Structure 1
Amino acid sequence: MGVAKVFKKFPKTFWVANIIELFERWAWYGFFMLFANYLTGSVDTGALGLTQTEKGYIMGFGTAFLYFLPVLTGSIADKYGYKKVLFVAFVIYTTAFIFLPMVSSFWGVFGIFIYLAIGAALFKPVISATVAKTTTDETSSIGFGIFYMMVNIGAFIGPMVTLLFKNSSYDLVFYISAGIIALNFILLLFYKEPDRVVTKESLGESLKTVFVNIGKVLADFKFVVFLAIVAGFWTMYNQLFFTLPVFIAQWVDTSAVYDFFSVNIPFFSENYGKADGQMEAEFITNFDAMFIIIFQIVVSSIVMRIKPLKTMTVGFLVCSIGMALTLATQNVMYTIGAILIFSLGEMAGSPKITEYIGRIAPLDKKALYMGYSFIPVFVGNALAGLISGGVYQNLSDKTEFVQQEVAKRGLDISDSLSQNDYFETAATQMGMSSRELTNYLWDAYHPYDMWYVILGIGLVSVIALYLYDRFMMREKK
């Protein structure tokens, strides 16, 4: 069946849900793509100056909490209605974005981020279930491909908008996200409640049922193995947000992109470049979303007739290679090429995870079972936080390395200086420019070793998924 004919089979609710998803992802990624550098950047830029380890705890465990809760919130949505749950989610979202710039301590940021995670956890299973309920076996591959494309349109637009205001004030980043998410209150007026089974159970009884169902899921050994394997993929994937923006900001020379835009499209160098002739790290990272917007429908059309497990295996492999290579060089063009490789694997593999679980979920419990699709994301975020935190700080953190080099040379530099001032002072005392000191630390401390860790995690997941498909799955999914 042609793609155009498939498009005509989607009901209005499918498209409304996708537009809601677009705005929610716009709001989320508008701050989240900048979040790692906001947490760890130099205080003289308006960032918080936290350590990589503290960043890892906030982003890893905070986001993991977000992805665990849908196991419960999916059941709540099935009982009380998708539209009501969406309304509550948007209230929490809006207020959390307003509160975030009001705190600066580790525990303050962590607490508000957990509050934000509750809103996101209410939202996620509802929208995924809506897409699942408005697609069929015939239309699910294209349907979830469209859904994933909407995710990435929002993911692309969000940082492009907020980066325009970052240098004026980081506070505006969060306020813009609050305004964008508030637009979904209007879209809720056009959202039609999908068919669902309404029970007379109390909330307590519903939650008890959830835990009983969790027990049943955990008793399904094949499904648990699948979730564990996919957790490895998400551990690797989340480095796109947790590690790559920091790595680019610290190590990659983006001047070639800045110079290209200065000559050909000055708007980008003027609005997304910095005074030192470098591009904003998040602008480079955002190429991933741009590639997905361009190629997602094509990739989904190619893989729509291929078994989800086989598609995931290939997608995970390509993803792993791409993400590992983004952390292997200081050359920005090489980095962008690696992001393209990563995005192609992401487009093939990631939507198939949701599609696979959506296919095997009972029709009257779509939101509940979609909640289980977030379990590996929960584990993956927790592990990704540890890797982007303590592991990155030991293997790749430029702030850590310059402090080690200062101590090794016996230089006297005050610890009270901001990160930028400390680095500039160190460079001056060592008789180097900032770029020369960066290159020296690159050669002396090998921060690119991080790519071995990421590739190893990805390859373990790929091999495990291949063996799972080869030896544990008899029926075709």
Structure 2
Amino acid sequence: MELFERWAWYGFYILFALYLTKSTDEGALGFTQVQKGWIMGVGTAILYFLPLITGAISDKIGYKKTLYIAYSVYTTAFLAMPFFHSFVSVFAIFLYLALGAALFKPIVSATVAKTTDKTTSSIGFGIFYMMVNIGAFVGPFVTGHFQKIAWEYVFISSALVIAFNFVLLTFFYKEPKHDDEPEKVKEPLGKNIAGAFKNIAVALSDVKFVIFLVIIAGFWTMYNQLFFTLPVFIDQWVDTTGVYNFLANVWPWLAHKLGTEQGTISAEYLVNVDAGSIILFQIIISSIVMRMRPLNAMISGIFVASIGIGLSMMTHSGMFVVLALFIFSIGEMSSSPKITEYIGRIAPADKTALYMGTSFLPVAAGNFFAGIISGNVYQQMSDKVQLARDEMVARGIHLPAISHKFTQNDFLEAAAHKLNMNTHEFQMFLWDKYHPSHIWMVVTGIGLGATLLLFLYDRLLLKKQ
């Protein structure tokens, strides 16, 4: 179920920023980067905060019933999404989708925890995380193919994939025993939810722990640019013909399947280098970092990931982006799994569950702030449409406002025509004059800031204890 859920989610999510911001004459919504940032940032932040409540609901009504509700919400949200086109309505349907994800998210990991013991938990969670990455890798390849036909098929394919989980749930899933927490099942739902918030408050009374969570929120802010910003940056600025030509020489069939009629590779396939690298190399990287202290592994991993994500936005070379994403994946593999492990280690023996319950907070905060970076900051520094507007205003050239009749592509073509350029020449003119690649400094700076703060946290705050 985890595999198919991640397949459906990432198949849609890796394309979502492009669906929100690409030109309406290509079947997308034509939103601004700021609007995209608010939808993805706030919506996904709420998704990661809601498990505090949905976890209490699942304890009360049972995991299997909760999963039926989650898949129903998920499926109907995916099917409905193509019918919403305004900012408010798309925001609303994405929040509805986030509710389905939030209902699902705590249950599978809790099921693994309840159906394994000390001798089998490592392999159990190992299989769990392997399914996460396989689903995340396969999903974009499938939906990327459907996107070439029409955007609607992206959502339909994700709906069908998540709906397959009804079959698995009905015929194979068995409710795990709740013997370890019978009081949660008997208590009123409101009391369960209030108890969850109380537990979070208890954990957050530890000042050292709060400082750690704030620093890790910086990591997630940097990390989420992989989905919020990088697909748009690749689509707007990166020349992927080199990647296509390389594949055409090495594996012509794959180049044909992934490539476009223009001899390029779409952004979602390049971004998917990260998930593919994790599938291939996670065991190797884990075997290396397992010998390191969790904090040292996190510091090293966040540093490497920060460099990798920055390099991916530094040039307009597609081959360079592939290399940069491989570097990023090494940092992610080193740091991300260690965060949860570290929280479990530093928690007092009688408060492990309380501390683990807060692990979603930096993820939620990181998504929120990632939305601001990919929205307001990216639009002002790097958005091709905004930079074209700025150039027209600076030259005193008036063009019609962007609308469904005069799309983003129409605007860029008209702006290029005013300067006696074709669209490619105009793009390179904007690249050379406005340096949109400088967004890498912001993203890498956030990651390096988190790295430095984590280093100081380890050397100064922890060493004093």
Superposition map of 1:81-120 within 5 A: 81-120=62-101
Equivalence for 1:316: 302
Q: Distance in 2 between matches of 1:138 and 1:310?
A: 27
* Closer/same/farther in 2, CA of residues 361 and 192 from structure 1, 3 Å limit: farther
Q: Which of 309, 312, 316 matches 1:330?
A: 316
Q: In the alignment, is residue 173 of structure 1 matched against residue 162 of structure 2?
A: no
Equivalence for 1:25: 6
Q: Distance in 1 between matches of 2:287 and 2:175?
A: 29
Equivalence for 2:411: 422
Equivalence for 1:391: 377
* Closer/same/farther in 2, CA of residues 78 and 39 from structure 1, 3 Å limit: same
Q: Distance in 2 between matches of 1:367 and 1:157?
A: 33
Q: In the alignment, is residue 190 of structure 1 matched against residue 179 of structure 2?
A: no
Equivalence for 2:213: 227
Return 430-439 or 104-113, whichever deviates more: 430-439
Superposition map of 1:36-51 within 5 A: 36-51=17-32
1:131–1:144 Cα contact (<8 Å) kept: yes
* Closer/same/farther in 2, CA of residues 465 and 195 from structure 1, 3 Å limit: farther
Q: Distance in 2 between matches of 1:185 and 1:363?
A: 38
Q: Which of 286, 297, 307 matches 1:300?
A: 286
Equivalence for 1:443: 432
The residue type paired with residue 3 of structure 2 is L
2:62–2:175 Cα contact (<8 Å) kept: yes
Deviations 1:413-468 (A, max 9, x none): 33342112221232233222322211111110011111111111111111222222
1:70–1:372 Cα contact (<8 Å) kept: no
Q: In the alignment, is residue 460 of structure 1 matched against residue 460 of structure 2?
A: no
Q: Distance in 1 between matches of 2:48 and 2:316?
A: 33
Q: Distance in 1 between matches of 2:93 and 2:350?
A: 34
Structure 2 stretches of 5 or more lacking a match? none
Q: CA RMSD in A?
A: 2.4
1:79–1:198 Cα contact (<8 Å) kept: no
* TM-score normalized with structure 1 length: 0.90
Matched length? 457
Equivalence for 2:359: 373
The residue type paired with residue 47 of structure 1 is A
Equivalence for 2:53: 72
Structure 1 stretches of 5 or more lacking a match? 1-19
Q: Distance in 2 between matches of 1:34 and 1:22?
A: 18
The alpha carbon displacement at 1:208 in A equals: 1.8
Return 114-123 or 268-277, whichever deviates more: 268-277
The alpha carbon displacement at 1:138 in A equals: 7.0
The residue type paired with residue 435 of structure 2 is H
Q: Distance in 1 between matches of 2:86 and 2:344?
A: 40
Equivalence for 1:160: 141
The alpha carbon displacement at 1:125 in A equals: 1.7
The residue type paired with residue 357 of structure 1 is I
The alpha carbon displacement at 1:119 in A equals: 1.2
Deviations 1:100-156 (A, max 9, x none): 111010000100111111111111122223344456677766654543332221111
Q: What percentage of residue pairs aligned between the two structures are identical? A: 57
* TM-score normalized with structure 2 length: 0.92
The residue type paired with residue 180 of structure 1 is V
Q: Distance in 2 between matches of 1:147 and 1:38?
A: 30
Equivalence for 1:4: none
Q: Distance in 2 between matches of 1:433 and 1:108?
A: 36
2:10–2:139 Cα contact (<8 Å) kept: yes
Q: Distance in 1 between matches of 2:440 and 2:343?
A: 30
1:45–1:167 Cα contact (<8 Å) kept: no
Q: In the alignment, is residue 253 of structure 1 matched against residue 239 of structure 2?
A: yes
* Closer/same/farther in 2, CA of residues 84 and 148 from structure 1, 3 Å limit: same
Superposition map of 1:345-364 within 5 A: 345-358=331-344
